[in-house]
Amino acid sequence: MDKNVTEKSTLIKLFVMDVDGTLTNGKVFYSANGEELKIFSIRDGMGIELLKLAGIDLAIITSENSNIVKARASKLNIKNLILGSRNKKKSLLELADSLELNLESIAYIGDDVNDIPALEIAGLSACPSDATDEVKKICDFVSVKQGGNGAVRDFAELILINQNKSITLPENW
C-alpha cells in the first residue's frame, strides 16, 4: 500500500460520500407512476456502521435533492446531509468549518467530474473502480469495487485498518 495513503488514513475523522455512482451504481429506475428508485448496497451500509463504531463521523454531499437519499441517510443515522449541492467544494468547506475540522482529517469518495473540486481538497480522496477517468487520475485510492457494489465499504475498511480499528462488529452490537 502507498505509504502516503496509509499516513493520510490515520488522520481521518470525517468520511464524506457522494451518492449516485458511489453509494449507488448510478442507475435510476422509474416506476410507471414516475416514482424514482435507487439501489444501495447493504455491505456499504455495514462499512458505514463500522466507521461510526470506530468514532468516525459521516456525511453525504450530493447534487440530488432526493427523498430516497434522505431516507437512506436516516436509516444509517447520518446527520451531516447536504442535498442539492451545485458546488461540492464549497459544501465541503462549509461542513468542515461547521464541524471545526481541518481538511486533512476528511476523507471524500466520489465518482464523477462534479466531485473533483471536493476530492482535490480532501485530506484523503477515493473513488469506485468505475469512476470517470478524470476522477481516477486525481484520487489517492481507487477501489477495486464499483459504485454501489462495495466501493464505500472498501474505502472504509482501508481507513479502519490503517487506524488499527476493528472491521468486525462487537459482540453486543
If one counts the domains in the chain, the total is 1
- Residue 91: pLDDT over 90: yes
pTM of the model as a whole: 0.95
User: Per residue in 143-152, pLDDT tens?
Assistant: 999 999 999 9
Q: What is the C-alpha end-to-end distance of the chain, expressed in Å? A: 31
Single out the residue of 81, 107, 113, 119 nearest to residue 159, CA to CA. 107
How would you write 68-95 as a 3-class SS string? HHHHHHHHCCCCEEECCCCCHHHHHHHH
In a domain, 171, yes or no: no
Beta strands in the chain (DSSP E): 14-17, 29-30, 36-37, 57-61, 80-82, 106-109, 124-127, 141-142
User: Per residue in 51-85, pLDDT tens?
Assistant: 999 999 999 999 999 999 999 999 999 999 999 99
Query: Which residue has 453525504 as its cell numbers?
Result: 60
CATH number reported for the structural domain that contains residue 8 in this entry? 3.40.50.1000
Task: Give the range of the structural domain holding residue 39, as residue numbers without chain letter.
Answer: 3-162
